Amino acid sequence: MVFHSLKMPGLKSALGINQGIVQLTHQYGMPSGTSMGTYNTTAASITCLRCRREETFVVDLYFGNTAMMVTVPLGTLYPFCIGKPPENGGPPASDRSVGMGYTECPHCSKDFFCSAVIHHGILVSIEPDRTQLPLIPDSESPGRTNCPECRSPVTQQQYFHGFDHSKLICQACGVVRSIRIEGNT
Ligand SMILES: [Zn+2]
Ligand SMILES: [Zn+2]
């Protein structure tokens, strides 16, 4: 549990990517102003985006009512804060919605984000999300471009197996950008 709370600053900066090039696909998840340290969990059999192995993953779910930190099996009702707006843990406004999940592979120990699909209040499935870059890189190198914000040349580039974008991190102003890897499949 302590290990997970250590990931939170990284998770925050990962969300910063969504304001950049990669689109925010989640309707709910990680509401600002609420505690970042709580989440629910579920177990799902999915194929790792990093090593492509199918495993049973424990997925952390950062939306809805996370105060009790419960395990929510697939196919059961998901907890929401009744009477609150969706961004503060309340129930979704539509019959079908998607919340944010995050997981680490039990085989390769690398991470990726997931979409948790809620249908009529029930957690129906977990789908790996390739649109958000993970937090744990496979490799790192000095950045190949200056910071797009402050023009500082002191940048770091992170690469993730299975993703067609790299992450450019400015060491001066802290901006994080997702950059398409050219000529790479
Ligand atoms: Zn893996
Ligand atoms: Zn910068």
Q: What tens-digit pLDDT sequence spans the chain (185 residues)?
A: 333 333 444 444 444 333 333 333 344 555 444 445 899 999 999 999 999 999 999 999 999 999 999 999 999 999 999 999 998 999 998 999 999 999 999 999 999 999 999 999 999 999 999 999 999 999 999 998 999 999 999 999 999 999 999 999 999 999 999 999 886 54
Please give the DSSP secondary-structure letter assigned to residue 77: B
In a domain, 32, yes or no: yes
- Expressed in angstroms and rounded, the spacing between residue 142 Cα and the centre of ligand 2 is 14
Any idea which residue has 């843990």 for tokens? Answer: 89
- Expressed in angstroms and rounded, the spacing between residue 178 Cα and the centre of ligand 1 is 21
- Expressed in angstroms and rounded, the spacing between residue 168 Cα and the centre of ligand 2 is 10
- Tokens standing for 64? 């809805």
What is the domain range of residue 52?
Answer: 2-129
Are the beta carbons of 29 and 100 closer than 8 angstroms? yes
Identify whether residues 171 and 120 lie together within a single domain.
no
Amino acid 37: pLDDT: 84
Can you give the pTM of this predicted structure?
0.78
In a domain, 134, yes or no: no
Amino acid 183: pLDDT: 66
Amino acid 10: pLDDT: 43
Identify whether residues 79 and 20 lie together within a single domain.
yes
Which residues lie at CB < 5 A from ion ligand 1?
48, 50-51, 105, 107-108
Identify whether residues 75 and 122 lie together within a single domain.
yes
- Tokens standing for 66? 């996370």
Whole-angstrom CA distances from 121 to 82, 93, 99, 110, 117 are: 12, 10, 12, 30, 9
In a domain, 185, yes or no: no
